Amino acid sequence: MSYIDQSDIRNWFENDRFLTTDELVKRLSLRFPDAKAGTLHAKLHRLKREGLVRNVRRGLYAAGSKREFEPAVSKELAGLSKKLRKRFPYLESLCVWDSRWLNEFTVHQALSSIVIIESERDTEKAVFEFVKASCSRVFIDPTPKEIDNYILGCEKCFVVRPLVTEAPITSSGDVSIPKLEKILVDLVCDKDLFVSFQGEELRNIYRRALTDYDVSLSTIRRYASRRGRLEEVNRLIEQEGESI
């Protein structure tokens, strides 16, 4: 057989609730004896993406039907990322995302869009000037007053901010984007910027994200601790999420 299905996964986890990366790779090697190590790890990544297995914590997996968070990166966002990478090739850390990605988690659909651009600290001013040259409604680390006066209600705007060190980011193609864990914590930490996603909507977002997607609670808690919001984030996880 050249594929893995749900029945295979049930057999693998029949006697064990959790399996390590090495144990899963070993099981894959029995199914694909001619596959190289890199191919086996790629197959494991595919199992994660398809929701057949999920991360419990680093290097440990459980059977599951949860998916990986893979938002649709628009051509505009991909183009912006490409321009930034070309203009600032020395940047080690950069990520971009669109607040409309949150619409799948909320009851009320946001028509407006905030494009978040985060770059390593002390580079955000240069990034801001570059984006401002080609885009309208561009703000750098806006204050609550600026958010209230100029951003809320704006159909589309761009916000440039410093990226917190060790923030959980990933990639979609050639575009660096935040992991879902980062977005969930940022919603709690940056209430003024994400005011449309507070209250009941914030609870909706956490509930649906933790139910539908393969979210690492350890990653959420580590990043929340780094941003000084661990207690509040923990409370949301306990109220809306699942205990692992």
Instruction: Quick: pLDDT tens for 182-192.
Output: 999 999 999 99
Q: Which of 17, 39, 63 is the last residue of a domain?
A: 63
18: containing domain: 6-63
Residues 241 and 244: their CA atoms lie apart, in Å, by 9
Residues 101-113: pLDDT tens digits?
Answer: 999 999 888 778 9
User: 104 with 172, same domain?
Assistant: yes
Please tell me the predicted confidence (pLDDT) of residue 244.
Answer: 43
User: 123 with 38, same domain?
Assistant: no
Q: What is the pTM of this model?
A: 0.75
User: 59 with 105, same domain?
Assistant: no
User: 32 with 81, same domain?
Assistant: no
Low-confidence ranges of the chain (pLDDT < 70): 1-2, 65-66, 241-244
User: 96 with 59, same domain?
Assistant: no
Please tell me the predicted confidence (pLDDT) of residue 1.
Answer: 44
Please tell me the predicted confidence (pLDDT) of residue 65.
Answer: 65
User: 79 with 59, same domain?
Assistant: no
Residues 205 and 194: their CA atoms lie apart, in Å, by 12
Residues 221 and 198: their CA atoms lie apart, in Å, by 19
User: 120 with 39, same domain?
Assistant: no
Number of domains the chain contains = 2
User: 48 with 167, same domain?
Assistant: no
Please tell me the predicted confidence (pLDDT) of residue 2.
Answer: 57
> How many CB atoms neighbour CB 116 within 10 A?
21
Within the chain, residue ranges assigned H as helices are 6-12, 21-31, 37-49, 75-87, 124-132, 144-146, 180-189, 200-212, 217-226, 230-240
Indicate whether 70 belongs to any domain. no
Please tell me the predicted confidence (pLDDT) of residue 164.
Answer: 95
Mean pLDDT (the chain) is 90
